[in-house]
Amino acid sequence: MTVSSFPGILNSEWTKIRTVASTTWTLASALVVTVGSSAALCAVVSATLDDMTPQERLTFDPTMASFVGMTFGQLAMIVFGVLVVGTEYSSGMIRTSLAAVPRRVSFFFGKLTVATALALVVGLATSFLSFFLGQVILGDASVGIGGDNVLRAVIGGGLYMAMIALFSMGVAAILRGSVLAICMLIPFFLVISNILGGVPATRKWAQYLPDQAGAKIMQVVPGGMDGSTTTYGPWGGFGIMVLWTAAVVLGGYLVLKKRDA
Amino acid sequence: MIELEGLTKRFGAKTAVDHLSFQVRPGVVTGFLGPNGAGKSTTMRMMLDLDNPTSGTVRIDGKHYRELPEPLKYIGALLDAKSMHGGRTAYNNLLCLAQSNRIPERRVAEVLDLVGLTAVAKKKSKGFSLGMGQRLGIASALLGDPEILMFDEPVNGLDPEGILWIRNLMKGLASEGRTIFVSSHLMSEMALTAQHLVVIGQGRLLADLSMADFIQQNSRSYVRLRSPQQERLKDVLHEAGISAVSVPATGALEIDGVESERLGELAAQHQIVLHELSPQRASLEEAFMRMTADSVEYHAHAPGAPGAVGSADNPARPADVPAWGAGFEAKRKGGE
């Protein structure tokens, strides 16, 4: 009986997303920051190509290089994901929304479906733009989209962005608000995860963190760039990220179901 | 028809709503009355399935709120003025609600017009005053053209013009045969709009009766007599078996439970001059305060006493009340 109204719920959530200013600026930032800082890094690499050792040349991953800016671009994606869910709580809209759609499962997954789909579209646009611009700048060191595993990595970049956004939505639902969620997620993905992944002592388990594992899908040369090897492949890594995200989203759903609005 | 059965909500050790059972009957305005903190809002949130009851159920035409496929078409609710996204325009706030219940988009403009917000439809709702926010909330309640409307303290914080507007709106909606359930802590407001009353105090049902019955049972009516021959009048009344209380401040006698006609005739028979013979009625506000003050005292003296006042088959009878109210009455009189 409620299944029939699910398109209505999707429609409603789409209206909610497109009618607030934060959607435009977070998603635009995700794209601009990723493409811009990736291009800048590619320009640096291109200029210093001659200084590379043969070993470095061998493990250089031009595809991955054109996605480096995602480290910063993903922060805007996190903010997008958090705000989509969190502003329901901070504005008090949640009570109005749930009075209109009292079935928590329809409300929550309707919202997540629409927001994740939008994040995926923007994520794919970002990764394709970032890739092609990066390859143009890299010149001699570039690869084509038809190269082995390259298309997988570029599509993977979009999937990664969407998954980061979805993960953030789950966290915001667990914390029932925006501020705390942003204060936890940004430092984690910007600093903590990178430190843990960069230090040999902690790398063994840090490779299973959602962003570290998920980012492997953008790698074409195994063990390339950062020189780390993992116990899983690109899809295995993305699978780990999906499991993390599924756990957080489920947690968010249970909080919404059990707690008073 | 909304039916509450044994509805209970505890927040930790505090019981906000305590075995509340009553029905909101179709086609009438039911006033939901209680002092601040009596549990009115919590009850309304449970009716809309926003808060989970600790125990008990709410059924709307036999169904749980969560089972209603497109609930805005059954029930429209105004909970608090600021439950919209401030960064969205009034129009878009309503549009996303309409879409979720498959209500045609033209209805958005209709309800905005109905509440007088057409001019600010394209303005972000965070700039709205309390009154405008209240109007927007009412517009969202009317969106699905529902049979049942719930308003939680709709006149709170409004200016007189806004209060008048809401009062007239509710009257209009009621005259269309809709069921209206409206909460307030102001008896005087209810007296103007409600036909039926549900009174709660400390989460418990104190009264569930028609407005007319409430007025009849709760407002103390008495007759005031003034006479230059007061001592004789007293004797005459005494002989007739009528007890009178003299009020030194006004120099009048107050008589409970005897009709003014009889008193007038009695005075005439004995040829006593009367300067005043007037039926008086204590205000409803006073009656309401007495009723809820009783509940406070009742709880203070006997916490955890069996809730004889709270069941549906045995709605609290104000007739039971005076024993508890005596203390309050004495205090009130002493304070004057």
The closest of B130, B181, B131 to B161, measured between CA atoms, is: B131
Give the C-alpha separation, B303 to B311, whole Å.
18
DSSP secondary structure letters along B32-55: EE--TTSSHHHHHHHHTTSS--SE
B89 DSSP assignment: B
Name the band, by pLDDT with cuts 50, 70 and 90, for residue A225: low
CB contact under 8 A, A19 and B96: yes
CA distance B99 to chain A (A): 5
Give the C-alpha separation, A106 to B101, whole Å.
12
The closest of B140, B8, B145, B15 to B78, measured between CA atoms, is: B140
The SS3 call for residue B97 is helix
Give the model's pLDDT for residue A5: 79
CB B100 within 8 A of CB A12: yes
**Residue B318 clears pLDDT 60, i.e. is over it:** no
Task: Give residues with Cβ within 8 angstroms of A249, minimum separation 6.
Answer: A112, A166, A167, A169, A170, A173
Task: Give residues with Cβ within 8 angstroms of B131, minimum separation 6.
Answer: B157, B158, B159, B162
From the CB of residue B161, how many other CB atoms can be counted at a distance below 10 Å? 9
Nearest-by-CA chain B residue for A22: B87
The closest of A19, A88, A82 to B124, measured between CA atoms, is: A19
Q: Which one of A92, A103, A258 has the shortest CB-CB distance to B82? A: A92
Task: Give residues with Cβ within 8 angstroms of A192, minimum separation 6.
Answer: none
Q: Looking at this protein, which amino acid is placed at residue B172?
A: G
The CA R_g of chain B, rounded to the nearest whole Å, is: 24
Give the C-alpha separation, A177 to B142, whole Å.
29
Give the C-alpha separation, B36 to A165, whole Å.
42
Give the neighbor-by-neighbor strand order of the sheet with B221-226.
B244-247, B252-256, B221-226, B276-281
Give the model's pLDDT for residue B323: 41
Residue A92 gets the label, from left (phi > 0), alpha (psi -120 to 50) or beta, of left
Share of chain B above pLDDT 70, in %: 87
Residue B220 gets the label, from left (phi > 0), alpha (psi -120 to 50) or beta, of beta
Residue to test with chain B: of A6, A16, A107, most B Cβ within 10 A: A16
Give the model's pLDDT for residue A17: 96
List, by residue range, all CATH 3.40.50.300 domains of chain B. Answer: 2-216
Give the model's pLDDT for residue B316: 40
CB contact under 8 A, A12 and B99: yes
Give the C-alpha separation, B125 to B97, whole Å.
15
Six-digit token string for B40: 């009115």
Range in A89-103, A222-236, B220-234 with the lowest mean pLDDT: A222-236
DSSP secondary structure letters along B131-142: HHHHHHHHHHHH
**Residue B300 clears pLDDT 80, i.e. is over it:** no
CA distance B74 to chain A (A): 10
pLDDT tens, A126-146? 999 999 999 999 988 889 998
- Give the Cα-Cα-Cα angle B101, B105, B107 (nearest 5 degrees): 90
Name the band, by pLDDT with cuts 50, 70 and 90, for residue A202: confident
Give the model's pLDDT for residue B157: 73
Give the C-alpha separation, B205 to B199, whole Å.
6
Task: Give A23's strand partners.
Answer: none
The SS3 call for residue B196 is strand
Instruction: Return contacts of B303-309, CB within 8 angstroms, 24+ apart.
Output: B307/B18, B307/B19, B307/B204, B309/B204, B309/B205, B309/B206
The closest of A178, A7, A9, A172 to A103, measured between CA atoms, is: A9
Helix (H), strand (E) at residue A19: none
The SS3 call for residue A66 is coil
Q: Which residue has the higher pLDDT, A85 or A219?
A: A85
List, by residue range, all CATH 3.30.70 domains of chain B. Answer: 221-281
Residue corresponding to tokens 């749980």: B64
Q: Does A16 touch chain B (CB under 8 A)?
A: yes
**Residue B80 clears pLDDT 50, i.e. is over it:** yes
**Residue A176 clears pLDDT 90, i.e. is over it:** yes
Residue corresponding to tokens 């001059």: B273
Give the C-alpha separation, A96 to A104, whole Å.
13
Six-digit token string for A131: 């890739």
Interface of B with A (CB under 8 A): 45, 48-52, 65-66, 68-72, 77, 79-80, 82-89, 92-93, 95-102, 140
Residues from chain A that touch B85, judged by Cβ atoms under 8 A, are: 16, 20, 87-88, 91, 93
CB contact under 8 A, A91 and B49: no
CB contact under 8 A, A99 and B77: yes
- Report the pLDDT averaged over residues B218-222: 74
CB A164 within 8 A of CB A82: no
**Residue B152 clears pLDDT 70, i.e. is over it:** yes
Instruction: Please state which CATH number belongs to domain B221-281.
Output: 3.30.70
CB B204 within 8 A of CB B8: no
Instruction: Please state which CATH number belongs to domain B2-216.
Output: 3.40.50.300
Name the band, by pLDDT with cuts 50, 70 and 90, for residue B74: very high
Which residues of B268-324 form beta strands (DSSP E)?
A: 276-281
Task: Give residues with Cβ within 8 angstroms of B150, minimum separation 6.
Answer: B44, B47, B48, B75, B76, B77, B78, B141, B180, B181, B182
pLDDT tens, A86-126? 999 999 999 999 999 999 999 999 999 999 999 999 999 99
Give the C-alpha separation, B31 to B174, whole Å.
12
What secondary structure, in 3-state letters, does A149-204 show?
CHHHHHHHHHHHHHHHHHHHHHHHHHHCCCHHHHHHHHHHHHHHHHHHHHCHHHHH
Give the C-alpha separation, B92 to B297, whole Å.
48
Residues from chain A that touch B97, judged by Cβ atoms under 8 A, are: 12, 96-97, 100
CB A129 within 8 A of CB A31: yes
Name the band, by pLDDT with cuts 50, 70 and 90, for residue B97: very high
Task: Give B55's strand partners.
Answer: B8
pLDDT tens, B188-198? 888 888 999 99
The closest of B283, B170, B172, B130 to B218, measured between CA atoms, is: B283
- Report the pLDDT averaged over residues B240-248: 86
Q: Does A187 touch chain B (CB under 8 A)?
A: no
Six-digit token string for A33: 């920051």
CB contact under 8 A, B45 and A1: no
Name the band, by pLDDT with cuts 50, 70 and 90, for residue B297: very low
Backbone phi and psi for residue A73, each to the nearest 5 degrees, phi listed first:
-60, -30
